Structure 1
Amino acid sequence: MQPAPVPQTPPGALPVIETRGLTKVFRRSTAVDSADLLVRPGRVYGLLGPNGAGKSTTLKMILGLLPPTRGEVRLFGRPWDRQALSRIGASVNGPSFYGHLSARRNLMVHAHLLGLPEEEVERTLAAVELAGTERKKAKTFSTGMKGRLALAIAMLGNPDLLILDEPQNGLDPEGIAALRAMMRRFTDTGRTIVLSSHLLGEVASVADDIGLIAQGRLRYQGSLAELAPDGDLERAYFTLAGHPQEAGTVVS
């Protein structure tokens, strides 16, 4: 199979994320194999793939949570360094917060660590529609509310890049619609989102660019239209993911 093509970045616009030969080996198992991702500014990049395909491992290497076995990560046009992380907000591996604190108190803890003013907490609470929950402890939140709290923590400080791992999990239809609108508002300001998911339909509804990873390898990178020129996204997805016999089943 030919390597996934790398989309072109407009002249003068540095890639927000660029990986070159990014590889992660756990003992004798290769979780990510020579991935060349290119994420352009002001867009939603949807990282698709089945569960266990290597999506979360790729994101963790980009964030410095896992060291690559080999390969390179570049952020905002420069080799990876911790200073670049100050421009990134992330929610990986599900919500992480203090259950005995309210949403506002949780955000205050993170804002204090980041040196952000209280006004930023109020702005972020409003952005994810958690204003007015001051008396509720986070451990009593619904799954959807916990997801919005994780998103709020990631959005603190108006980062230039949001990395979201399966943010739709547990959201009801209204919550999913609100998430889509939030992501579009975010990128309308020129900022960038990387959205990891195994839900083809949800990524297709919001992503500008697609990366499809399966068995640790990047099988496709480009636009949705190029992924399925005949409009049959399911068939293209399952064929590239190595399961052509599944084409025709519902991927929501």
Structure 2
Amino acid sequence: MNMNDILVVSNLSKNFGKHKVLENVSFKVPRGKVIGLVGPNGAGKSTIMKCILGIYPYSQGDIWFEGRKMTAQTTGTMGKKIGALVESPAIYPFLTGMKHFKLYGIKPADRQRVIHLLGMENYINQKVTQYSFGMKQKLGIALALVNNPDLVILDEPMNGLDLMSTLAVRKIILSQAAKGTTFIVSSHILSELEKIITDVVLIDHGKIILQKPLQALREAGHQCFTMVTNRNSDARQLLGNHHFDVSLTNDQLQIQISPNQLTNVLQILLDDHITITNISHQGMDLETATLQFLKQAEGVVNHA
């Protein structure tokens, strides 16, 4: 086992009755990385998180944390090094935010640090019944971070947050990761998730589709090449005849191809004496890449 991996999930399976929600799930979490756990609703993201945290038992497989196998006997001890916000925050409505920190025995210096980081000073002494959804979410995030855990698991942390709070949470995750804290974050807001993660674990129908660094995912598969020629309309028709995905917008050709197809595209245009005056390319964003790989995985399933 690579000691650079703080968490290793190996062949994890989970059933609810006869319904299999996780099937042979395996992935590794390197130390200091921010892992985006991505997939459609019902794919199994929250179930994976709950299995890691010991909330759910699992049918088969192993979970290793900091080189030690997690069991019912060791989860409590090792769990002190893991902070988590899974689904809704575990808070008591008739306690104040401050009393939550005192309830969990948080040191004054630690609680003041996260209260300040999340901008909670103005309402931390109010009862949680008076909190908005976003305020409750920030309290849950604060409780997950306050003990300086080695691993933080956050399920939909941006839910209910306004712009300033979202920016604050993003800043905290990035700054803590820079200091060595590892994060597993799930969010349906992929554009926001893309700003904080270093790696992607894509899951669908309880199975891992892929695990890649974010940059490698952006560069994988089809990319958008923007091209300008001396005969744009002719170029669009010519490439369309060769079954390439091409459109013409604002006097620019947009071509969806993989990098290894670019030489073929250029040769087709040059053979027809079309002059290329400008070309640039852009890797896929996280949302586009996710949809593409999910469609590819669905195609494999349909043809199995």
Which TM-score band (shorter chain)? 0.7 to 0.9
Work out whether 1:133 is the aligned partner of 2:127: no
How large is the Cα RMSD of the aligned pairs? 1.9
TM-score of the aligned structures, taking structure 2 as reference length: 0.72
Q: What is the aligned counterpart of 1:60 among 8, 25, 50?
A: 50
Q: Does 1:39 align with 2:29?
A: yes
Deviations 1:114-144 (A, max 9, x none): xx43332222222222123244221211221
Contact 2:51-2:58 at 8 Å conserved across structures: yes
Give runs of aligned pairs for residues 236-247 of structure 1, distance below 5 A: 236-242=289-295
Aligned CA distance change for structure 1 residues 134 and 47 (closer, same or farther; 3 Å): closer
Alpha-carbon distance between aligned partners in 1 of 2:159 and 2:10, rounded to the nearest angstrom: 30
- Tell me, yes or no, if the aligned pair for 1:235 and 1:244 is still in contact at 8 Å: no
> Structure 2 vs 1, CA of residues 134 and 56 (structure 1 numbering), >3 Å: closer, same or farther?
closer
CA distance in 2, matches of 1:184, 1:236: 23
Flag the 1:94–1:77 CA change in 2: closer, same or farther, 3 A: same
Greater relative contact order structure (CA < 8 Å, 6+ sep): 1
Cα deviation, residue 99, structure 1: 1.2
Number of the residue aligned with 1:248: none
CA distance in 1, matches of 2:117, 2:168: 10
2: CA distance, partners of 1:31 / 1:199: 23
Corresponding residue for residue 250 of structure 1: none
Structure 1 or 2, whichever has the larger Rg, is 2
Query: What are the Cα deviations for residues 43-64 of structure 1, in whole angstroms up to 9, with x where unaligned?
Result: 1111011111100000001111
What stretches of structure 1 move > 4 A for 4+ residues in a row? none
The answer as to whether partners of 1:31 and 1:215 remain within 8 angstroms in 2 is yes
**Which residue is equivalent to 2:100?**
106
Residues 1:152 and 2:146 are matched in the alignment: no
Structure 1 residue runs of 5 or longer lacking an equivalent are 1-7, 246-252
Q: 3-state SS of the aligned residue for 1:228?
A: helix
Structure number with the higher strand fraction is: 2
Q: Which amino acid aligns with 1:238?
A: L
Give the TM-score normalised by the residue count of structure 1.
Answer: 0.86
1:220 aligns to what SS in structure 2? strand
Q: 1:232 and 2:222 equivalent?
A: no
Partner of 1:3: none
Secondary structure, counterpart of 1:37 in structure 2: strand
Alignment of 1:173-212 (within 5 A): 173-212=163-202
Q: Contact 1:53 / 1:216 at 8 angstroms: preserved in 2?
A: yes
Shift of 1:244: 9.2
